[in-house]
Amino acid sequence: MSVVKMNVLTVSAEMREELERRFSNRAGIVESADGFEWFELLRPVDGTDRYLVYTRWRSEEDFTRWTESQAFQRGHAQAAAEAGAQGHGHGQEQGQEQGHGHGQGHGHGHGQGGPAASGAELWSFEVVQSTGPQG
Ligand code: HEM
């Protein structure tokens, strides 16, 4: 049974453009992860401040293996570098918050520095039913 893992990022109005810029420059490594099925970055259009990083995986194990992989670290290199530059740790020690610290940013000449998200939460679902367009 496929699973959906959504990283719910709280993003202030000022950092929306920066978050989307970083994703537009994303590493594109997740595509070759074993068991990876789908990725979408969903922008809120109802006035709320939460972006959804939607991923779908063949199994829970495939997702867990990716989050513990070099591919995950490399896929988060930008954000980690930005956060790291502010002297805040990142990685496993932050429980659910994998790979990104919370620092106040300053520019690196390409977009705003520091983490683009002020909060992150992981939502987990099992795909019970799914369908696509006919024909
Ligand atoms: C504190 C937690 C997290 C934050 C703040 C965060 C933020 C980001 C940012 C800003 C990027 C763009 C690339 C970069 O800047 O390095 C990125 C890449 C990505 N994130 Fe996260 N992320 C977090 C954890 C997760 C988790 C738990 C998932 C799984 C649902 C996830 C899924 C992805 C995917 C699929 C990419 C693209 C990687 C690639 O292109 O290979 N992230 N994330």
pLDDT of residue 8: 98
**How large is the average pLDDT for residues 24-46?**
95
Residue 5 near ligand 1, beta carbon < 6 Å: yes
Nearest CA to ligand 1 atom 36: 75
**Cα-atom radius of gyration of the chain, to the nearest Å?**
15
Q: What confidence tier does 103 reach under pLDDT thresholds 50, 70, 90?
A: very low
CA of 75 to the centre of ligand 1 (A): 7
CA of 23 to the centre of ligand 1 (A): 8
State the residue range of the domain holding 90: 3-126
Q: Is residue 57 part of a domain?
A: yes
pLDDT of residue 69: 96
Range with the poorest average pLDDT among 24-28, 54-58, 65-69? 24-28
Residue 54 near ligand 1, beta carbon < 6 Å: no
Q: Is residue 111 part of a domain?
A: yes
| CATH code (residue 65) | 3.30.70.100
Counted domains in the chain: 1
Q: Is residue 79 part of a domain?
A: yes
Q: Which residues, including other chains, have CB under 8 Å from residue 15's CB and lie 6 or more apart?
A: 112, 116, 117, 118
Q: Quote the mean pLDDT of the chain.
A: 83
**Residue 27 scores a pLDDT above 50:** yes
Q: Is residue 48 part of a domain?
A: yes
Q: What confidence tier does 84 reach under pLDDT thresholds 50, 70, 90?
A: low
Q: Is residue 74 part of a domain?
A: yes
Does residue 24 come out as left (phi exceeding 0), alpha (psi in the -120 to 50 range) or beta? alpha
Q: Is residue 22 part of a domain?
A: yes
pLDDT of residue 114: 77
Q: Is residue 93 part of a domain?
A: yes
The size of the chain, in residues, is 135
